[in-house]
Amino acid sequence: MEHSRSFCLPTMKSAPLQQTDLGWLTSRSGDPIFWTPERLGRPSAWWGHVPFAFWLTAQCKPRLLVELGTDCGVSYAAFCETVLRLGLATRCFAVDTWQGDAHAGHYGGEVYLDLAEFHERRYGAFSRLLRRTFDDARAEFADATIDLLHIDGYHTYEAVRHDFDAWRPKLSERAVVLFHDSNERRDDFGVWRLFDELKRDAPSFEFLHCHGLGVLALGADAPEAIKALCALAADDEIAVARERFSQLGAHWIKLAESQAQVEELAERAQRLEETNRVATTRCETLASEMKRQREDQTRLLATLKRPDYDGRLPAKLTGLRRWIPGRRRKLRWRAREYRTVAASPLFDRDWYLANNPDVATAKLNPVYHYLRYGAREGRAPGPHFSGQAYKRANPDVADSGENPLLHFIRVGAREGRSPGYGLNGAELRSPLDAAAYREWVRRYDTLSEADRQAIAEHLARLSYQPLISVVMPAFDTPEATFRQAIESVRGQLYQNWELCVADDASPSTTVSAVLAEYAALDHRIKWARRSENGHISAASNSALELARGEFVALMDHDDLIPPHALYEVVAELNAHPEADILYSDEDKIDERGGRYEPYFKTDWNPELFLGQNFISHLGAYRRSLVLAAGGFRVGFEGSQDYDLALRCIRKTNADRIRHIPAVLYHWRKGAGRTSFSDRQLERCAIAARRSKNEYLASIGDPGNVVAHSKAPLSPSEAIFSLRTLQGENDFGFWNSLNRTIFDGLPMAHCPCK
């Protein structure tokens, strides 16, 4: 292929073409502008500029190409396609969070996954997708190395000015910079304003079609062809260049739109085919049913015509007339019961099916099953009501044989009777409390588009953006929940993080397979598989060994963090950069994504902390502090986080422990989910007592943490107290503990005597 001379389209001021002057027509150097692009069918405002992107890349032959803002990859694919077809030695990088913004619109992870699959297959040999903010990605590139930079991020003047100024030191002496949306002046778009400022000091050219594309030959040694384009001064020459690239791009705009329509029609055809299939099946079922009814009718008529049946028919009909009214009354009564239970917040259909797989497998109506069989068999209607506990607390209900939930709804609630106790023996909260919390979440803890944009803008202004290592031990995690946990980290609005996961020798290969897949998609995900199962402390240490961040955040393998979790941590660190430990509020989340049981915590309270581990989740520690404390200790499984926190607070002071008053962690609870703490409750309690005894000794306040003498035999109702050894009069501060929670167990303060 010939690349010895540049291809230029003749302008209106060119000398008239002679019959033999066909060099412009036969030169292969013009091939790029006629190439067929990839990614047809993907929506993009960039299709009209794709021929120019082909030509530009061929002329620049950049050593390093960077695109800021890639979306579905139409422009980036054009750059990479040129590198691939011409065999250039170019290294290419696309930088984007792939979450969208207020201008481009917000979207989910499917856009990135679609691009990543195509990209790795076609351009993976020389290109990388960097899923992070523009500011976070700058550290990847040395100064004076980028030959071609495309800026297509958030389009306000302030945002694009910040991006250009931040990346300008990275530009080489050959640098060419592209600004998309340079001709877009609606709302708060401000690229045009910046481009007007920059073109006063550097050669430039601007295309006006497809929202505008500004070309800036910034480097002193920019390619000659680009300088020549930017040097066009005559209006007719500029108009010809704009018109020809606009016409070339218009073809791909129409083809992309057509391809998108074809794909949409194919999807609609598939949906119609499925609808037709369902309708056909339904028609066949109805036809079969009608045939059966006709056969039944024929048999009935034949029976009625039998001579020996005539004498019995009147008596049968008379009995039927007497039976029908009673049956009708019974059916009406059952219908009222059905409506009562179905409308009650104490009956949870999804929970009932999840906790009764036989009902789900048989595809039975959960309300009907509970009324007909479940209540009699002792099954609970939901997480907030236990029929067995209700009957134990109310013997009259047990003696009557009445459905306990119906009794509570009709009579018990009015009489002030408790809805009972949960399946784990803990007293239940009112379902109204759960409903109130859901409303609070809707009003005050659900991110809007404006919230996301405000966070992005605030992050751009933060001077301190440390690397945060999310440390996660994993063992035989269900694939769906494991993926959700990982995606909740990848969905963080703050991008300077790494996820460090240790597979604790899971018997299944699922955990390792999922980790290998995600590590290939996102270089920020690091993982290791342990050769033998060491339980949670050893696995946490293996994950900690992978961490390189200034701070580490602890996360379990099936829990979730909201998109703004790490942003809140970093915002607090910018306000208090001396902080060593940060912790947030938390709540629980069920299988359907419903949040409940919020744990709103106090600011740092050392006395209260001896009663409960309120650092817990989300807890973020300065990594050097964790390493100085010795990491997680084997033998303290179930209370390993509490033990680590107690050892860390000894090495810092109260001013360096910060509480973030926001719910930044969702602890997953659901059917069949039990933690080590649930299964080994007494062992965890013993480990916690050991940790607190060691802590008291280390601060020169020798004491002993013991089980209360009146503690019940059941571990699930265990009561603990703290007993000092320094005298009867030193109990005053323990009284401030009053009634607290210790690893999910009720606690009581120690009496003075």
pLDDT of residue 290 exceeding 60: yes
699: Cβ contacts below 8 Å, ≥ 6 apart: 650
Residue 86: CB atoms within 10 A of its CB come to 16
Least confident among 170-174, 226-230, 277-281, 617-621? 277-281
721 vs 228 pLDDT, higher one = 228
Total number of domains in the chain: 4
CA distances from 623 to 16, 237, 473, 548 (A): 72, 61, 17, 8
Take residue 358 and report the two structure tokens written for it.
Answer: 């036989």
* Domain end point (choices 195, 228, 261): 261
For residues 344-353, give the mean pLDDT. 86
694 vs 551 pLDDT, higher one = 551
Q: How far apart, in whole angstroms, are the C-alpha atoms of residue 290 and residue 249?
A: 60
Q: Beta strand 741-742 with 720-724: parallel, antiparallel or unpaired?
A: unpaired
pLDDT of residue 13 exceeding 60: no
User: Per this entry, what is the length of the chain?
Assistant: 753
Q: Is residue 293 part of a domain?
A: no
pLDDT of residue 621 exceeding 60: yes
Q: How far apart, in whole angstroms, are the C-alpha atoms of residue 706 and residue 116?
A: 56
pLDDT of residue 428 exceeding 60: no
Q: What is the DSSP letter of 308?
A: G
**E-strand spans in 103-238?**
105-106, 127-131, 146-151, 171-180, 204-207, 213-216
Question: Can you say how many angstroms the Cα of residue 645 is from the centroid of all Cα atoms in its chain?
Answer: 27
Claim to verify: residue 210 and residue 324 sit in the same structural domain = no
pLDDT at 113: 85
Model-level pTM?
Answer: 0.45
Q: How far apart, in whole angstroms, are the C-alpha atoms of residue 202 and residue 86?
A: 29
pLDDT at 682: 63
Q: Is residue 17 part of a domain?
A: no
pLDDT single digits (tens) 123-170: 988 999 998 889 989 988 999 999 999 999 888 999 999 999 999 999
Q: What is the DSSP letter of 81?
A: H
pLDDT of residue 343 exceeding 90: no
- Domain of 378 in residue numbering reads as 319-428
- Among residues of the chain, what percentage have pLDDT more than 70? 79
**Backbone φ and ψ of 219, nearest 5°:** -75, 145
Claim to verify: residue 445 and residue 417 sit in the same structural domain = no
Take residue 7 and report the two structure tokens written for it.
Answer: 């291809």
For residues 220-224, give the mean pLDDT. 93
For residues 613-641, give the mean pLDDT. 88
pLDDT of residue 674 exceeding 60: no
Claim to verify: residue 658 and residue 717 sit in the same structural domain = no
Q: Is 712 helix (H, G, I), strand (E, B) or coil?
A: coil
Question: Of 306-320, 393-407, 736-750, which one has max mean pLDDT?
Answer: 393-407
Claim to verify: residue 531 and residue 397 sit in the same structural domain = no
Q: Is residue 280 part of a domain?
A: no
For residues 359-369, give the mean pLDDT. 89
Least confident among 35-49, 231-245, 282-296, 674-688? 674-688
pLDDT at 684: 67
Take residue 79 and report the two structure tokens written for it.
Answer: 């750059």
Q: How far apart, in whole angstroms, are the C-alpha atoms of residue 96 and residue 135?
A: 10
Give me the CATH number covering residue 182. Answer: 3.40.50.150
| Contact call for residues 97 and 132 (beta carbons, < 8 A) | yes
Claim to verify: residue 602 and residue 731 sit in the same structural domain = no
pLDDT single digits (tens) 379-400: 889 887 888 888 888 888 888 8
Q: Is residue 12 part of a domain?
A: no
The backbone region for 428, taken as left when phi is positive above 0, alpha when psi lies in -120 to 50, beta otherwise, is: beta
Q: How far apart, in whole angstroms, are the C-alpha atoms of residue 302 and residue 295?
A: 11
| Contact call for residues 731 and 752 (beta carbons, < 8 A) | yes
pLDDT at 500: 95
Q: Is residue 42 part of a domain?
A: yes
Give me the CATH number covering residue 634. Answer: 3.90.550.10
Residue 20: pLDDT band by 50, 70, 90 thresholds? low
pLDDT at 315: 56
For residues 721-745, give the mean pLDDT. 33
Take residue 672 and report the two structure tokens written for it.
Answer: 């069949």
Which helix (H) or strand (E) segment holds residue 612: the answer is: none
pLDDT at 37: 75
